[in-house]
Structure 1
Amino acid sequence: MLIHKDLFKQAAFTARFEWGYEGVELVGRGSSIIVIVDVLSFSTCVDVVIGREGIVYPYRVKDDTAARFAEQKGALLAGSRGERISLSPAALQTIPLNSRIVLPSPNGSTCTVLAKEHKATVIAGCLRNASAVASFVRAHKGTVTIIACGERWPSGALRPAIEDIIAAGAILHELGEHILSPEAQMAVAAYTSARNDLAHLLLQSGSGQELIHRGYPEDVHVAALHNVSENVPVLNDDMAYEAASWDKL
């Protein structure tokens, strides 16, 4: 039996939650705000760079075109973990102020690019800035879709990542004036279940264990910090995340 995809749009609700590329395409369409959540590590990296008064250009792939794009923007291209500038929030804490970074990411960057096509205000959210993002959403009003980017299995299929649904729930938990979809309510439930043990859960999760085994436990610790940042990274017309201008609301 063919089921119409419109049934999955969560259209009756003003706060929605969904996963990955398909979630951006289907549920994000028609939203006033789309929040991209990729805790380990894209959106956490964006928060850290914005906290250093920098800007981040998301880029979908890391290849020769990324290097040319970085050159065009007068920006530094993030390299592999272990380099000073990479998809590592711990490493990015030491970059110079006002840095311009091109950050390739198959999950967070790709979802960002897809979200921008919907003409919505696009925000990078994580555990570190959950309350700040929620405050911005409340002030902006309108319909919001929170996208948990997740990870990818070797086959390319989506792997839901618990750190992303927890952070999404942390944001949604503070949107009391919105009408939450059942999917959004379940994200909130994930957050309320995890909020007293965030660091332990992230360290023990599949995503956390992957980073630990690769030698980057500090990235997990940085990402697990909750509400330590007041940054709200908003995607501008130049396709770069910059600090939100509240006076433009």
Structure 2
Amino acid sequence: MAERLNLIRFDWGPVGADTVAPGAAFVAVVDVLSFTTTLTVAVERGISVLPYRWRDDSAVAVARRHGAMLAVLRSQAGPGQVTLSPESMLRELGTARIDRLVLPSPNGSAISARLAAAGSTVVGVCLRNAAAAAEWVRDRAGERPVAVVAAGERWPDGSLRPAVEDLWGAGAFLARLADRGGTAGWSPEARTAVAAYRGVAGDLATALPESASGRELRANGFAGDVAVAADQDATRAVPVLREGWFVPAD
């Protein structure tokens, strides 16, 4: 007899995504610092976002071909440009008139593009939209499986570094899913993510800046990005990847 798949599954990084995504009605990708937070800010403002795997000359060509703005590195940003920084996205998109953005990222963006190429329906999730995303997915998935992928970061040798902020973001989304029906039939990994989130849910404004990624961003002058990312349930925007672009959920 074939083993029954868990109704809710959770794993890390691109290889984990390949493992848990097959058969899922939706795959939630979580990259709190900073891809899915920046993505959610953009989509909230009606901007379609193309997740791109590489930050090189090919990204420039893709942006030009689609008539889109290309997000640049934080260190390279000039007036009117946007980066992977969600704070800069809030600031610059308040005045810039754009409707398409190419957003390169080696973690969340690359995983999203990888999943979409394999036929998955991808949802961008962060702490800012966890409740809204869970409600949207729950209403449409029914009894079908849902997968959650924490993007994580990279060690200098390129290997996956599990990032606790992505565990908390995944747990926030999963905790909202669990509000109806509990966690029966869930994978142990998914239940563990919920427990990790609940352990810091009342103190995220303090815990997120003290995470390894939070400390790194603050040391480089981007404390504002951490504050934007920690603003739980600040938006109802739910980015869904359709035909290569993240757009607002219908």
Q: Fold conserved (TM > 0.5)?
A: yes
Residue 117 (structure 1) shift: 2.7
Offset from partner CA, 1:64-116 (integer Å, 9 cap, x none): 10000000111011111152310000000131355311010000111001111
Q: Does residue 14 of structure 2 align to residue 21 of structure 1? A: yes
Aligned to 2:187: 181
The alignment of Structure 1 onto Structure 2 pairs a total of residues equal to: 236
Q: Which amino acid is the alignment partner of residue 160 of structure 1?
A: P
Which of 74, 82, 98 is the aligned partner of 1:85? 82
Q: In the alignment, what sits opposite 1:36?
A: 29
- The AA in structure 1 aligned to 2:131 is S
Alpha-carbon separation, structure 2, partners of 1:98 and 1:172: 33
> Which structure 2 residues correspond to residues 63-102 of structure 1 after superposition, within 5 A?
63-82=56-75, 83=77, 84-94=81-91, 95=93, 96=96, 98-102=98-102
Identity %: 42
Give yes or no for contact 2:68–2:98 (8 Å, CA) kept in 1.
no
Match of 2:247 in 1: 242
Q: Distance in 2 between matches of 1:117 and 1:240?
A: 12
- Deviation above 2 Å: which 4+ runs of structure 1? 96-99, 176-179
Gaps of 5+ in 2: none
Match of 1:217 in 2: 223
Distance 1:74 1:236 in 2: 18
Check if 1:123 corresponds to 2:123. yes
Name the counterpart of 1:108: 108
How big is each residue's C-alpha offset from its partner over 1:148-181, in whole Å with a ceiling of 9 and x where there is no partner?
Answer: 0000000011000010000100111122336321
Q: Which amino acid aligns with 1:168?
A: A
Conservation of the 8 A alpha-carbon contact between 2:73 and 2:84: yes
Q: 1:231 corresponds to which residue?
A: 237
Whole-angstrom CA distance in 2 between matches of 1:137 and 1:181 = 18
Cα drift, residue 30 of structure 1: 1.8
Structure 1 counterpart SS, 2:218: helix
The whole-number CA distance in structure 2 between the counterparts of 1:240 and 1:117 is 12
Measure, in 2, the Cα distance between the counterparts of 1:130 and 1:180. Answer: 18
Letter in 2 for 1:128: R
Q: Secondary structure at the match of 1:36?
A: strand
The question of whether the paired residues in 2 share the 8 Å contact of 1:33 and 1:123 is answered with yes
Deviation at 1:120, TM superposition (A): 2.1
Question: Structure 1 residues 174 and 70, CA, compared in 2 at 3 Å: closer, same or farther?
Answer: same
Q: Which stretch shows the higher mean deviation, 148-157 or 110-119?
A: 110-119
1:206 aligned residue: 212
Alignment-derived partner of residue 135 in structure 1 = 135
**Is this contact kept in 1: 2:69–2:98, CA < 8 A?**
no
2:87 aligned counterpart, secondary structure = helix
Q: What is the letter of the counterpart of residue 46 of structure 2? A: E
| SS of the residue 1:101 aligns to | strand
Please list the CA deviations of residues 1-26 of structure 1 after superposition, one character each: whole Å capped at 9, or x if unmatched. Answer: xxxxx99xxx5311111000111111
Q: CA separation in 2, counterparts of 1:98 and 1:75?
A: 8
